[in-house]
Structure 1
Amino acid sequence: MQQSLNPWITNPASDSANEEAPDAHVPPSAVISEPLRGMVEPDTADRLARRTVSGSAALWITGTHGGAGESRIADLLDGARVTDHCWPVLPDGSTPRVLLVCRADMRGLTTARNALTQWASGAAPTLDLLGLAVLADAPGKSPKALRDFAAIVGGGAPRLWTLPWVEAWRHGDSTTPPLPREYQRFITDVAALATGTAPATTN
Protein backbone atom coordinates (compact mmCIF):
# COMPACT_ATOMS: atom_id res chain seq x y z
CA MET A 1 0.00 0.00 0.00
CA GLN A 2 1.33 3.44 -0.87
CA GLN A 3 1.59 5.93 1.99
CA SER A 4 0.07 9.40 1.72
CA LEU A 5 2.25 12.44 2.32
CA ASN A 6 1.34 15.34 4.56
CA PRO A 7 1.08 18.53 2.45
CA TRP A 8 2.01 20.63 5.49
CA ILE A 9 5.51 19.14 5.55
CA THR A 10 5.94 17.62 2.09
CA ASN A 11 6.02 19.14 -1.38
CA PRO A 12 3.13 17.41 -3.21
CA ALA A 13 4.52 18.31 -6.63
CA SER A 14 7.71 16.35 -6.03
CA ASP A 15 5.93 13.34 -4.55
CA SER A 16 2.88 12.95 -6.80
CA ALA A 17 3.71 9.31 -7.46
CA ASN A 18 3.02 8.52 -3.82
CA GLU A 19 -0.49 10.04 -3.70
CA GLU A 20 -3.46 7.93 -2.66
CA ALA A 21 -7.08 8.37 -1.62
CA PRO A 22 -7.79 11.42 0.64
CA ASP A 23 -9.10 9.21 3.45
CA ALA A 24 -5.89 7.16 3.63
CA HIS A 25 -4.10 6.81 6.94
CA VAL A 26 -1.30 9.33 7.43
CA PRO A 27 1.79 7.49 8.71
CA PRO A 28 3.22 8.67 12.05
CA SER A 29 6.37 9.90 10.30
CA ALA A 30 4.26 12.52 8.51
CA VAL A 31 2.44 13.80 11.61
CA ILE A 32 3.21 17.29 12.90
CA SER A 33 3.79 17.07 16.65
CA GLU A 34 5.55 20.39 17.27
CA PRO A 35 6.08 23.77 15.57
CA LEU A 36 7.97 23.65 12.27
CA ARG A 37 11.03 25.66 11.39
CA GLY A 38 10.35 27.98 8.45
CA MET A 39 6.54 27.96 8.75
CA VAL A 40 5.22 31.48 8.05
CA GLU A 41 2.83 32.76 10.71
CA PRO A 42 -0.61 34.00 9.62
CA ASP A 43 -1.57 37.67 9.43
CA THR A 44 -2.41 39.30 12.75
CA ALA A 45 -6.12 39.38 11.92
CA ASP A 46 -6.13 35.60 11.39
CA ARG A 47 -4.47 34.66 14.68
CA LEU A 48 -6.12 33.51 17.88
CA ALA A 49 -5.50 35.86 20.78
CA ARG A 50 -3.79 34.79 24.01
CA ARG A 51 -5.62 34.81 27.33
CA THR A 52 -4.34 34.19 30.83
CA VAL A 53 -6.69 31.61 32.36
CA SER A 54 -7.33 31.13 36.05
CA GLY A 55 -7.70 27.84 37.87
CA SER A 56 -6.61 24.47 36.59
CA ALA A 57 -7.77 21.92 34.03
CA ALA A 58 -6.59 18.61 32.73
CA LEU A 59 -7.36 19.90 29.25
CA TRP A 60 -8.19 23.29 27.74
CA ILE A 61 -10.68 23.36 24.85
CA THR A 62 -10.07 26.12 22.30
CA GLY A 63 -12.69 26.78 19.66
CA THR A 64 -11.18 28.39 16.58
CA HIS A 65 -14.35 30.43 15.93
CA GLY A 66 -17.68 31.26 17.53
CA GLY A 67 -20.06 28.31 17.47
CA ALA A 68 -17.25 25.79 17.13
CA GLY A 69 -18.65 23.52 19.83
CA GLU A 70 -16.08 24.49 22.46
CA SER A 71 -18.49 24.21 25.41
CA ARG A 72 -20.13 21.05 24.08
CA ILE A 73 -16.81 19.23 23.85
CA ALA A 74 -15.72 20.47 27.27
CA ASP A 75 -18.94 19.04 28.74
CA LEU A 76 -18.02 15.60 27.36
CA LEU A 77 -14.51 15.46 28.81
CA ASP A 78 -13.71 15.15 32.51
CA GLY A 79 -11.50 17.95 33.77
CA ALA A 80 -11.82 20.05 30.60
CA ARG A 81 -12.44 23.80 30.51
CA VAL A 82 -13.02 26.26 27.67
CA THR A 83 -10.72 29.14 26.76
CA ASP A 84 -13.28 31.34 24.94
CA HIS A 85 -11.57 31.05 21.56
CA CYS A 86 -8.12 32.08 22.81
CA TRP A 87 -4.83 30.29 23.36
CA PRO A 88 -4.57 29.65 27.11
CA VAL A 89 -1.65 31.02 29.11
CA LEU A 90 -1.24 29.68 32.65
CA PRO A 91 -0.21 32.18 35.36
CA ASP A 92 2.37 29.79 36.83
CA GLY A 93 4.14 29.42 33.48
CA SER A 94 3.35 25.72 33.10
CA THR A 95 2.45 24.22 29.73
CA PRO A 96 -1.29 23.73 29.13
CA ARG A 97 -2.69 20.77 27.21
CA VAL A 98 -4.95 22.10 24.45
CA LEU A 99 -7.50 20.63 22.06
CA LEU A 100 -8.61 22.73 19.09
CA VAL A 101 -12.25 22.48 17.99
CA CYS A 102 -13.99 23.72 14.84
CA ARG A 103 -17.09 23.09 12.74
CA ALA A 104 -16.86 21.20 9.44
CA ASP A 105 -17.96 24.14 7.27
CA MET A 106 -15.62 26.32 5.22
CA ARG A 107 -15.46 29.08 7.83
CA GLY A 108 -14.71 26.67 10.64
CA LEU A 109 -12.05 24.78 8.72
CA THR A 110 -10.40 28.00 7.55
CA THR A 111 -10.13 29.31 11.11
CA ALA A 112 -8.74 25.94 12.21
CA ARG A 113 -6.13 26.10 9.45
CA ASN A 114 -5.16 29.60 10.62
CA ALA A 115 -4.86 28.45 14.24
CA LEU A 116 -2.75 25.45 13.26
CA THR A 117 -0.54 27.64 11.08
CA GLN A 118 -0.10 30.02 14.01
CA TRP A 119 0.89 27.10 16.25
CA ALA A 120 3.15 25.46 13.66
CA SER A 121 4.96 28.75 13.02
CA GLY A 122 5.74 29.15 16.72
CA ALA A 123 3.55 32.27 17.00
CA ALA A 124 1.24 30.66 19.59
CA PRO A 125 2.21 30.51 23.26
CA THR A 126 3.96 27.40 24.54
CA LEU A 127 1.43 24.57 24.82
CA ASP A 128 0.93 20.85 24.34
CA LEU A 129 -1.45 20.61 21.37
CA LEU A 130 -3.25 17.27 21.41
CA GLY A 131 -5.00 17.74 18.07
CA LEU A 132 -8.06 19.05 16.25
CA ALA A 133 -11.67 17.91 16.62
CA VAL A 134 -13.89 18.75 13.63
CA LEU A 135 -17.60 18.69 14.49
CA ALA A 136 -20.25 18.21 11.80
CA ASP A 137 -22.11 21.43 11.03
CA ALA A 138 -25.27 19.75 9.69
CA PRO A 139 -26.98 16.35 9.55
CA GLY A 140 -25.88 13.89 6.87
CA LYS A 141 -22.64 13.37 5.03
CA SER A 142 -20.41 16.37 4.51
CA PRO A 143 -19.74 17.38 0.88
CA LYS A 144 -16.60 15.84 -0.60
CA ALA A 145 -14.89 19.21 -1.05
CA LEU A 146 -15.25 19.91 2.68
CA ARG A 147 -14.15 16.40 3.62
CA ASP A 148 -11.04 16.82 1.49
CA PHE A 149 -10.33 20.25 2.99
CA ALA A 150 -10.78 18.86 6.51
CA ALA A 151 -8.20 16.16 5.74
CA ILE A 152 -5.74 18.79 4.55
CA VAL A 153 -6.34 21.04 7.56
CA GLY A 154 -6.08 18.06 9.91
CA GLY A 155 -2.68 17.25 8.43
CA GLY A 156 -1.38 20.25 10.35
CA ALA A 157 -2.44 18.84 13.72
CA PRO A 158 -0.85 16.08 15.81
CA ARG A 159 -4.19 14.21 15.65
CA LEU A 160 -7.51 14.66 13.88
CA TRP A 161 -10.95 13.54 15.02
CA THR A 162 -13.92 13.96 12.68
CA LEU A 163 -17.14 13.86 14.69
CA PRO A 164 -20.70 13.40 13.36
CA TRP A 165 -23.86 15.43 13.90
CA VAL A 166 -25.86 14.67 17.08
CA GLU A 167 -29.49 15.60 16.53
CA ALA A 168 -30.36 15.59 20.25
CA TRP A 169 -27.96 18.48 20.85
CA ARG A 170 -30.02 20.69 18.55
CA HIS A 171 -32.76 20.47 21.20
CA GLY A 172 -30.39 21.19 24.07
CA ASP A 173 -30.06 17.60 25.30
CA SER A 174 -26.44 17.07 26.35
CA THR A 175 -26.88 13.81 28.24
CA THR A 176 -28.84 11.49 25.95
CA PRO A 177 -27.02 8.12 25.67
CA PRO A 178 -25.58 6.48 23.83
CA LEU A 179 -23.29 8.82 21.95
CA PRO A 180 -22.22 7.79 18.44
CA ARG A 181 -19.23 5.46 18.45
CA GLU A 182 -17.03 8.21 16.97
CA TYR A 183 -17.61 10.27 20.13
CA GLN A 184 -17.03 7.29 22.40
CA ARG A 185 -13.67 6.64 20.76
CA PHE A 186 -12.84 10.36 20.82
CA ILE A 187 -13.58 10.62 24.54
CA THR A 188 -11.43 7.55 25.25
CA ASP A 189 -8.57 8.86 23.09
CA VAL A 190 -8.56 12.34 24.61
CA ALA A 191 -8.85 11.06 28.18
CA ALA A 192 -5.76 8.93 27.63
CA LEU A 193 -3.88 11.85 26.08
CA ALA A 194 -4.87 14.26 28.84
CA THR A 195 -3.53 11.87 31.48
CA GLY A 196 -0.40 10.95 29.53
CA THR A 197 -1.38 7.30 29.04
CA ALA A 198 -2.04 7.40 25.29
CA PRO A 199 -0.18 5.24 22.76
CA ALA A 200 1.83 6.62 19.85
CA THR A 201 0.46 9.58 17.89
CA THR A 202 -2.03 8.73 15.13
CA ASN A 203 -3.94 10.79 12.61
Structure 2
Amino acid sequence: MPIPPPPAVVAARPWAPGVDGLTVRRHIRRSTVDGAPLLWIVGAHGGAGTSTWAHLLGAGDAGAAWPQHVNPTRLLSIVVCCRSTAAGLRAAQDVAIEWASGALPGQLVGLVVGADAPGRLPRELRDQLQITSGAFPHCVFVPWQAHWRFAKENDVNADHSRRINKIAATVAAWTERILG
Protein backbone atom coordinates (compact mmCIF):
# COMPACT_ATOMS: atom_id res chain seq x y z
CA MET A 1 0.00 0.00 0.00
CA PRO A 2 1.54 3.38 -1.00
CA ILE A 3 2.32 5.86 1.75
CA PRO A 4 0.43 9.15 1.29
CA PRO A 5 2.60 12.25 0.89
CA PRO A 6 3.01 14.46 3.97
CA PRO A 7 0.81 17.57 4.18
CA ALA A 8 2.25 20.66 2.52
CA VAL A 9 4.12 22.98 4.85
CA VAL A 10 2.91 26.56 4.66
CA ALA A 11 5.43 29.38 4.70
CA ALA A 12 4.65 31.69 7.61
CA ARG A 13 4.64 35.47 7.42
CA PRO A 14 7.53 37.24 9.22
CA TRP A 15 5.32 38.21 12.18
CA ALA A 16 4.12 34.64 12.67
CA PRO A 17 6.81 32.72 14.58
CA GLY A 18 4.17 30.49 16.17
CA VAL A 19 3.25 28.80 12.89
CA ASP A 20 6.67 27.89 11.53
CA GLY A 21 6.57 24.34 10.22
CA LEU A 22 2.89 23.76 11.03
CA THR A 23 0.35 22.55 8.50
CA VAL A 24 -3.34 23.20 7.97
CA ARG A 25 -5.44 20.43 9.54
CA ARG A 26 -8.75 21.63 8.15
CA HIS A 27 -10.05 24.17 5.68
CA ILE A 28 -12.43 26.90 6.79
CA ARG A 29 -15.57 27.27 4.72
CA ARG A 30 -16.20 30.54 2.89
CA SER A 31 -19.19 32.82 2.68
CA THR A 32 -19.80 35.49 0.02
CA VAL A 33 -20.98 38.93 1.17
CA ASP A 34 -22.15 41.96 -0.78
CA GLY A 35 -22.40 45.59 0.38
CA ALA A 36 -21.55 44.55 3.91
CA PRO A 37 -19.21 46.04 6.51
CA LEU A 38 -15.47 46.05 5.89
CA LEU A 39 -14.73 44.55 9.35
CA TRP A 40 -15.86 41.00 10.07
CA ILE A 41 -15.62 38.77 13.13
CA VAL A 42 -14.86 35.12 12.31
CA GLY A 43 -15.10 32.28 14.80
CA ALA A 44 -12.30 29.74 14.70
CA HIS A 45 -14.93 27.27 15.96
CA GLY A 46 -18.57 27.26 16.99
CA GLY A 47 -19.33 29.11 20.22
CA ALA A 48 -16.26 31.34 19.90
CA GLY A 49 -18.17 34.56 20.64
CA THR A 50 -18.54 36.06 17.17
CA SER A 51 -22.02 37.45 17.83
CA THR A 52 -20.91 39.12 21.05
CA TRP A 53 -17.83 40.74 19.51
CA ALA A 54 -19.61 41.72 16.30
CA HIS A 55 -22.23 43.47 18.42
CA LEU A 56 -19.66 45.20 20.64
CA LEU A 57 -17.57 46.37 17.67
CA GLY A 58 -20.36 47.13 15.21
CA ALA A 59 -18.84 44.60 12.81
CA GLY A 60 -20.21 41.85 10.60
CA ASP A 61 -20.79 38.46 12.23
CA ALA A 62 -19.45 35.74 9.92
CA GLY A 63 -19.94 32.89 12.38
CA ALA A 64 -17.44 30.16 11.56
CA ALA A 65 -17.26 31.05 7.84
CA TRP A 66 -14.63 33.25 6.19
CA PRO A 67 -16.30 36.23 4.46
CA GLN A 68 -15.29 37.09 0.94
CA HIS A 69 -16.77 40.07 -0.87
CA VAL A 70 -18.44 39.47 -4.23
CA ASN A 71 -16.19 42.23 -5.58
CA PRO A 72 -12.68 40.71 -5.36
CA THR A 73 -11.06 44.17 -5.26
CA ARG A 74 -12.84 45.03 -1.99
CA LEU A 75 -10.58 43.98 0.87
CA LEU A 76 -12.30 42.85 4.07
CA SER A 77 -10.60 43.01 7.47
CA ILE A 78 -10.97 39.99 9.71
CA VAL A 79 -10.74 39.58 13.47
CA VAL A 80 -10.74 35.92 14.52
CA CYS A 81 -12.08 34.89 17.91
CA CYS A 82 -11.82 31.67 19.87
CA ARG A 83 -12.17 30.27 23.38
CA SER A 84 -9.15 29.55 25.54
CA THR A 85 -9.50 25.77 25.34
CA ALA A 86 -6.78 23.64 23.74
CA ALA A 87 -9.12 22.85 20.83
CA GLY A 88 -10.15 26.51 20.45
CA LEU A 89 -6.55 27.76 20.39
CA ARG A 90 -5.56 25.09 17.86
CA ALA A 91 -8.56 25.99 15.68
CA ALA A 92 -7.46 29.65 15.70
CA GLN A 93 -3.96 28.57 14.76
CA ASP A 94 -5.37 26.55 11.86
CA VAL A 95 -7.29 29.59 10.59
CA ALA A 96 -4.13 31.74 10.72
CA ILE A 97 -2.08 29.09 8.92
CA GLU A 98 -4.69 28.77 6.18
CA TRP A 99 -4.77 32.56 5.78
CA ALA A 100 -0.96 32.76 5.72
CA SER A 101 -0.93 30.16 2.93
CA GLY A 102 -2.86 32.60 0.74
CA ALA A 103 -5.96 30.39 0.67
CA LEU A 104 -8.17 33.01 2.35
CA PRO A 105 -8.68 36.56 1.05
CA GLY A 106 -8.70 39.73 3.12
CA GLN A 107 -6.58 41.29 5.84
CA LEU A 108 -6.10 39.31 9.06
CA VAL A 109 -6.25 41.95 11.78
CA GLY A 110 -5.98 40.01 15.03
CA LEU A 111 -7.24 37.42 17.48
CA VAL A 112 -9.63 37.80 20.43
CA VAL A 113 -9.34 34.90 22.89
CA GLY A 114 -12.25 34.58 25.34
CA ALA A 115 -11.65 32.80 28.62
CA ASP A 116 -13.51 29.50 28.77
CA ALA A 117 -13.64 29.51 32.58
CA PRO A 118 -12.98 31.86 35.49
CA GLY A 119 -9.49 32.14 36.93
CA ARG A 120 -6.00 31.92 35.55
CA LEU A 121 -5.19 29.78 32.52
CA PRO A 122 -3.25 26.58 33.29
CA ARG A 123 0.37 26.62 32.12
CA GLU A 124 -0.31 24.30 29.17
CA LEU A 125 -2.98 26.66 27.84
CA ARG A 126 -0.84 29.76 28.48
CA ASP A 127 1.93 28.11 26.44
CA GLN A 128 -0.53 27.24 23.66
CA LEU A 129 -1.89 30.81 23.72
CA GLN A 130 1.66 32.12 23.31
CA ILE A 131 2.21 29.93 20.25
CA THR A 132 -1.19 30.71 18.73
CA SER A 133 -0.88 34.46 19.25
CA GLY A 134 2.34 34.43 17.22
CA ALA A 135 0.27 33.64 14.14
CA PHE A 136 -1.66 36.93 14.37
CA PRO A 137 -0.56 40.57 14.03
CA HIS A 138 -2.41 41.38 17.29
CA CYS A 139 -3.93 39.33 20.10
CA VAL A 140 -5.98 40.14 23.17
CA PHE A 141 -7.15 37.86 25.97
CA VAL A 142 -10.61 38.53 27.39
CA PRO A 143 -11.05 37.38 30.99
CA TRP A 144 -14.09 35.36 32.05
CA GLN A 145 -17.30 37.41 31.92
CA ALA A 146 -19.80 35.62 34.18
CA HIS A 147 -22.66 38.02 33.40
CA TRP A 148 -22.39 37.23 29.67
CA ARG A 149 -23.67 33.73 30.42
CA PHE A 150 -27.03 35.20 31.40
CA ALA A 151 -27.24 37.99 28.82
CA LYS A 152 -30.07 37.83 26.36
CA GLU A 153 -29.28 38.05 22.63
CA ASN A 154 -27.52 41.34 21.76
CA ASP A 155 -27.70 42.42 25.43
CA VAL A 156 -23.98 42.19 26.27
CA ASN A 157 -23.70 45.99 26.18
CA ALA A 158 -26.13 46.35 29.07
CA ASP A 159 -23.60 45.68 31.81
CA HIS A 160 -19.98 45.37 30.83
CA SER A 161 -16.92 46.53 32.65
CA ARG A 162 -14.38 49.23 31.88
CA ARG A 163 -12.03 46.37 31.04
CA ILE A 164 -14.33 45.15 28.24
CA ASN A 165 -14.66 48.74 26.98
CA LYS A 166 -10.86 48.96 26.89
CA ILE A 167 -10.55 45.64 25.05
CA ALA A 168 -13.19 46.70 22.50
CA ALA A 169 -11.35 50.02 21.99
CA THR A 170 -8.07 48.14 21.49
CA VAL A 171 -9.58 45.88 18.82
CA ALA A 172 -11.21 48.91 17.16
CA ALA A 173 -7.80 50.63 17.07
CA TRP A 174 -6.28 47.62 15.27
CA THR A 175 -8.85 47.94 12.52
CA GLU A 176 -8.72 51.75 12.28
CA ARG A 177 -5.06 51.53 11.28
CA ILE A 178 -6.00 49.23 8.40
CA LEU A 179 -9.32 50.75 7.32
CA GLY A 180 -8.06 54.32 7.73
Does 1:141 pair with 2:120? Answer: yes
With over 3 angstroms needed to count, the CA separation of the structure-2 counterparts of 1:180 and 1:144, relative to structure 1, is farther
Contact 1:39 1:120 in 2 (8 A): no
Q: Deviations over 1:67-114 (max 9, x none)?
A: 000101111102x01112111110122110000000000111111111
In the superposition, the TM-score normalised over structure 2's length comes to 0.80
1:179 to 161, 164, 176: 161
Corresponding position of 1:116: 96
1:150 aligned to which of 129, 133, 136: 129
Q: Give the gaps of 5 or more residues in structure 1.
A: 1-7, 10-29, 199-203
1:76 aligned residue: 56
CA–CA separation in structure 2 for the residues paired with 1:99 and 1:92: 20
In the alignment, which of 35, 39, 50 is matched to residue 55 of structure 1?
Answer: 35
CA deviation after TM superposition for structure 1 residue 130, in Å:
0.6
Q: Answer whether contact 1:52 1:89 (CA < 8 A) is retained.
A: yes
| Partner of residue 4, structure 2 | none
Indicate which of 71, 74, 79 corresponds to 1:92: 71
2:15 is aligned to 31
Alignment partner of 2:145 out of 149, 163, 166 = 166
Q: Secondary structure at the match of 2:35?
A: coil
Q: Of 162, 173, 176, which aligns to 1:192?
A: 173
Give the partner amino acid of 1:111: A
Q: What is the CA-CA distance between 1:52 and the residue it aligns to? A: 0.4
Q: CA deviation at 1:184?
A: 2.4
Q: What is the distance in 1 between the residues matched to 2:168 and 2:121?
A: 22
Report if the CA contact (8 A) 2:110-2:136 is conserved. Answer: yes
Where does residue 64 of structure 1 map in the other structure?
44
- Give the direction of change, closer, same or farther, for the CA distance of 1:122–1:97 in structure 2 (3 Å limit): same
Q: What is the number of residues matched between the two proteins?
A: 163
In the superposition, the TM-score normalised over structure 1's length comes to 0.72
Q: What percent of counterpart residues are identical?
A: 34
Moved over 4 A (4+): 38-41
